[in-house]
A and B are shown apart, each in its own frame.
Chain A
C-alpha cells in the first residue's frame, strides 16, 4: 500500500518535471504545444545514446539531456514557434501535431522502433527497506531530484528578477514591452528552459515510463491533464495535479487493471467540466 503510494509519488514527480515546461508555454504564453513530449523524448534518447554507445556515467547524462533539449527548444522557438504565438489555436494544434509526427518518424528512422533500455548505476538500482516499506532506490532518487527542481522553480518564478519579468510579460505583453522588458527574449529563454526540463524528465523517466518513438503521443494526454487540471497560474497547481495523477494512475493500474486508464480520463473530463480553468485557478480570469 505504502509502496504504491511511494511509486505514485515518484511517477507524479516525473510527470511534473515533464509537464511544467508545458505549463509555461501553454498557460503563460497561450500556445497549445502538443509537441512537448518530443522534447522529453529528445532528452531520453540523448541519455540512451550517451550511456549505451559511449559509456558515459548516468549523472553526466542528466545535465546533458537538459542542455540538448533546451538547445533544440531554443532553436525551434526562434525559427518556428515565435511566429505562431498570435495565430489561432487550430493552427497551433496542427503545427505541433506536425512536429510530433516528424519527431516520431525521425526517431524511428535513426534509433529504431524498439523500446530503449538504460542500465542504471548500481547504487541506484534495487530496493531498500525504510521503516518496513519497500522503496526503490531509483524512485527515491527521482523524488529527491524532482522535489528540489520544483522548489527551485517556485523560487525562480516568485523571487528572481527573471521570474517577475516573465510574469509581467505574460500578464500584459504590451505594457511589459513598454517598460523595457525584452519579451521575445524572455519567452525564448522560458521556452528553452521548459524544453530542457522536459528533456531532463525524459532522461530520468526512461527507466520508469519507458522510451520508444511513440513517447510523445503516448504521454501527450498526461501532460495536458497535468496542465489543464493544475491550472497555469502557479507552480504548485500543476505540481499537486501531477501528484494526484501519478498516484491515481499507479493505484488504478495496480488495483483495477482492467479499467485503469478510464479512471484517469474520466477524472480529467469531470474535472474539466467542474473547473474549466483548472483546480487551482486564479479567480477573475
Chain B
C-alpha cells in the first residue's frame, strides 16, 4: 500500500480516461487470484483423499468456514460487530430441517430455501443496525439472536422445542449423489457450497462495492461525502451475509440429519467471532484459516478436557486480545517475501 500516494498524484494529474483505466487496473490487481488461495482449495481437495477417516471433522470445518466467511463480510468489510450472527445460521438449519421433514428430501432445495429464509430475516433486521453506536448494534444483534433462540424453544410444535428436530433423512444430492455412511458425499457437498459461496463473496468483496464498504467502515461520514449510500450498502451486505450464514446452517442440518436448539446458542456467535479473530478479518480467507485452526483446537481440547474445554477457549480469547489481534493477523507477513507481498495488496 506504500505506493498509493504516488498513484494518487498520477491519477490526479492525468486525464479522466487515463484515471479510469488506472482505477480499473488497481481494482484488477486487488481482485487477482492469489497463490495461497489455490493452495487452500488444493489442500481441501487433497484432504478428501488423504484423510478418509476424518470426513466428519472436515465437514465441520467447511461449514464453520462458510459461516465465518459470511461474518467476515459484515465484520471485516462493513465493520459491524455482530453478536447475533448465529440467528441466521440457526434459522437456516431449521428451515433446511423442516423442508427435508415435510416437503422435499433433495438437499439443494433445502439449501436454497434456507438461504432465502435467512436472507429475508437479514434484510428485515438490517434496518435495526443502521442506527447507533457499536454498543447499540451489539445489543440489537444479540437481542435478535436471543429472540430467535427463544422462539425455537417455545414453538415446540414446529421445531421440536428442546428436543430438536430429527427423524428426517435426505435424498441424493440433485438426485444423483447419495449420502454415504462415512460422510464422503457430505464433505464434497459442503466443500462445493463453501467454494461457490466464497467465490461469490470474494467477487463481491473485491469489487468497487466491497471497496465502498471498507470506506464506510473507516469513516462513514467521509464515505457519505463521496456519495457512497452507506445505509443501502449496509442493508445489502448484511442481507447477503445472512444468506450465506443460513446456507451454512442448512449444511449442518443436512449433513447431521439433526437440528438442535444449540444452533441458535449464544456460544456459536462467540465461536465464530473467535474463528475470525484467529484467522484475521477483512480478506475472507481468514474465516477458512480460522475455522481449520479453531476446529482442530476445539477437537483436541474436547478430548483432553471433555467438560471444561470452554475454559481454554476463553483463555485463548483473552490471550489473543492481550497479545493483539493485528499482530497475529499479520502472520502472513512473516512468510517469504513473494508470498506475503501479494497478500498485502489484498487488504
Q: How far apart are B320's CB and chain A's nearest CB, in angstroms?
A: 7
Please list the 10 inter-chain residue pairs (A to B) with the smallest Cβ-Cβ separation, ordered nearest first: A98-B317, A101-B314, A105-B311, A276-B132, A102-B314, A98-B318, A95-B321, A89-B134, A98-B314, A105-B310
- Asked whether A98 lies within 8 Å of B310 as measured between CB atoms, the reply is no
Whether B198 sits at the interface, judged by CB under 8 Å, is no
Which residues of A241-285 have CB atoms within 8 Å of chain B's CB atoms? 258-259, 261-262, 265-266, 268-269, 272-273, 276-277
Q: In the assembly, what is the distance between CA of A258 and CA of B154, in Å?
A: 7
* 28 contacting pairs across A/B (C-beta < 8 A): A32-B135, A89-B81, A89-B138, A91-B325, A93-B81, A93-B83, A93-B138, A93-B273, A95-B317, A95-B318, A97-B273, A98-B314, A98-B315, A98-B318, A99-B314, A101-B313, A101-B314, A105-B307, A108-B307, A228-B135, A262-B150, A262-B151, A265-B146, A265-B150, A272-B132, A272-B140, A272-B143, A277-B132
B contact residues, total (Cβ < 8 Å) = 42
Beyond A102-B311, A261-B150, A269-B144, is A97–B136 a contact (Cβ under 8 Å)? no
Find out whether the CB atom of B308 lies under 8 angstroms from the CB atom of A109. yes
Asked if B315 and A102 sit within 8 Å, CB to CB, the answer is yes
Q: In the assembly, what is the distance between CA of A174 and CA of B153, in Å?
A: 49
Known: A101-B314, A103-B314. 14 other contacts (CB 8 A): A87-B321, A94-B273, A94-B325, A98-B317, A98-B320, A102-B311, A224-B139, A228-B136, A261-B150, A262-B147, A265-B147, A269-B143, A272-B132, A272-B140
Cβ–Cβ contact A97 & B314, under 8 A: yes
Q: Is B144 in contact with A89, judged by CB distance below 8 angstroms?
A: no
- A104 proximal to B (CB < 8 A): yes
Instruction: With CB as the reference atom, state the residue of chain A lying closest to B125.
Output: A269
State how many angstroms separate the Cβ of A168 from the closest Cβ of chain B: 23
The answer to whether B135 touches A89 (Cβ under 8 A) is: yes
Q: Which residue of A lies closest to B130 (CB)?
A: A273
Please classify how large the interface on chain A is, using the bins under 10, 10 to 19, 20 to 34, 35 or more.
Answer: 35 or more
Interface secondary structure of B, over-half rule = helix
Answer whether residue B277 sits at the interface, using C-beta atoms and an 8 A cutoff: yes
Cα A99 to Cα B321 with chains together (Å): 11
Q: Is A106 an interface residue (CB 8 A)?
A: yes
Separation in Å of the B4 CB from the closest CB of chain A?
23
Shortest CB-to-CB span from B318 to chain A, Å, is 4
Q: How far is A83 from B321 in the complex, measured between Cα atoms in Å? A: 10
Within 8 A of B (CB), among A144-183: none
Shortest distance between the CB of A17 and any CB in chain B (Å) = 21
Q: Among A105, A224, A268, find the residue whose CB has the most chain B CB atoms closer than 10 A.
A: A105
When C-beta atoms are compared, the residue in chain A nearest to B151 turns out to be A262
In the complex, which of the residues A97, A108, A221, A224 contacts B270, with contact meaning CB atoms closer than 8 Å? A97
Q: Known contacts A106-B311, A217-B266; decide if A94 and B321 are in contact (CB<8 Å).
A: yes
CB <8 Å contact, B139 and A101: no
Chain A residues with CB under 8 Å of B81's CB are: 89-90, 93
Q: Which residues of B sit under 8 angstroms from A92, Cβ to Cβ? A: 321
- A235 → chain B, closest Cβ, in Å? 19
- Interface residues in A91-149 (C-beta closer than 8 Å to B): 91-95, 97-106, 108-109
Q: Residues 26-58 of chain B: 1 if any A CB is under 8 Å from the residue's CB, otherwise 0?
A: 000000000000000000000000000000000
Which residue of B128, B132, B311 is within 8 Å of A109 (Cβ)?
Answer: B311
